[in-house]
């Protein structure tokens, strides 16, 4: 089973460029999430989705956008990249809401904005 | 915003030693999850504790949820190099709709 697949694994952007981080899961999970992890810090929630067509903001949504047209895919869009968005981005999914259902994470996308 | 503080931030020990990692908050959580993350990979769930005072064992790892459900600990007995990684705790709020991660404890076990 592939689980949660993220692409690309690495990316370098110039300030002001845009890009889309791709995330796909094959577990038929309704809930999907985007987190960012900065060095020495825990994970911070950017956006989440409770099902196709439904998305909501997390703790740090500014500078990002998401869409959820299918159950499987949950892309994250950066419109005007800034150095503060240099981070490792993780996509995750879960069977149910975040209460007791474990999160299944992808292997991350390491983004550098220069 | 509910905050979770993990201590220590870094820990370097010799193979065979015991260690304890702490996860503390002033807020009450309905449950708490522990994850381990290895370099270049996403976090992987180790355990979920739900009841205040609950103790769960996973081979050499013992997890405890505080009686007041505000804190948790992870104890590793006879650490091995394979235990090396970043250990993250994550608390679920009482409404069950928010998961807050701690900053993590980076563990290195030297052979």
Spatial strand order of the sheet with B61-65 comes to: B5-7, B19-24, B71-76, B61-65, B55-58
CB A34 within 8 A of CB A64: yes
Mean pLDDT of B54-83: 96
Q: Does B1 touch chain A (CB under 8 A)?
A: yes
Contact A43 B4 (CB under 8 A): no
Q: How far is B16 from chain A (nearest CA, A)?
A: 26
Contact A98 B97 (CB under 8 A): yes
A4, A100, A107 ranked by CB distance to B40: nearest: A107
Contacts of A107 in chain B (CB under 8 A): 40-42
| CA-based nearest residue to B32, from B18, B21, B41, B19 | B21
Least trusted range by pLDDT, from A85-99, B8-22, B34-48: A85-99
pLDDT band at A1 (very low <50, low <70, confident <90, very high): low
Give residue B41's pLDDT. Answer: 92
DSSP string, B20-68: EEEEE-SS--SEEEEEEE-TTS--EEEEEE-STT-EEEETTEEEEE-TT
Rounded CA separation A10/A110 (Å): 5
To probe the interface with A, which of B36, B43, B45 has the most A CB atoms within 10 Å? Answer: B43
Give residue B8's pLDDT. Answer: 96
Rounded CA separation A72/A25 (Å): 5
Altogether, the residues listed in chain A come to a count of 114
Q: Does B111 touch chain A (CB under 8 A)?
A: no
Give residue A99's pLDDT. Answer: 64
Q: How far is A108 from chain B (nearest CA, A)?
A: 6
CB B103 within 8 A of CB B94: no
Find the distance separating the first CA and the last CA of chain B, reported in whole Å: 40
pLDDT band at B52 (very low <50, low <70, confident <90, very high): very high
Average of per-residue pLDDT values in chain B: 93
Rounded CA separation A49/A71 (Å): 10
pLDDT band at B94 (very low <50, low <70, confident <90, very high): confident
What is the sign, positive or negative, of the torsion defined by CA atoms of A57, A58, A64, A65? negative
Mean pLDDT of A39-51: 88
Q: How far is A53 from chain B (nearest CA, A)?
A: 19
pLDDT at B20 over 90: yes
pLDDT at B1 over 70: no
């Amino acid at each position: 089973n592939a689980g949660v697949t993220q692409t690309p694994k690495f990316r370098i952007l110039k300030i002001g460029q845009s890009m889309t981080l791709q995330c796909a899961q094959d577990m038929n999970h309704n809930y999907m999430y985007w987190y960012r992890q900065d060095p020495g810090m825990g994970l911070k929630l950017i956006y989440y989705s409770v099902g196709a067509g439904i998305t909501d903001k997390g703790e740090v949504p500014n500078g990002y956008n998401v869409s959820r047209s299918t159950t499987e895919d949950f892309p994250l869009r950066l419109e005007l990249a800034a150095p503060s968005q240099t981070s490792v981005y993780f996509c995750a999914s879960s069977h149910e809401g975040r209460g007791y259902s474990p999160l299944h994470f992808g292997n991350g996308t390491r983004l550098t904005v220069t | 915003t509910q905050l979770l503080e993990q201590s220590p931030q870094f820990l370097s020990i010799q193979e065979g030693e015991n260690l304890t990692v702490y996860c503390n908050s002033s807020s009450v959580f309905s449950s708490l999850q522990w994850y381990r993350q290895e370099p270049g990979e996403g976090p992987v769930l180790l355990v979920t504790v739900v009841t205040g005072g609950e103790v769960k064992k996973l081979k050499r790892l013992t997890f405890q949820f505080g009686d007041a459900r505000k804190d948790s600990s992870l104890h590793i007995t006879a650490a091995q190099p394979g235990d090396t990684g970043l250990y993250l705790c994550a608390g679920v709020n009482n409404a069950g709709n928010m998961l807050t991660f701690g900053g993590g404890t980076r563990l290195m076990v030297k052979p």
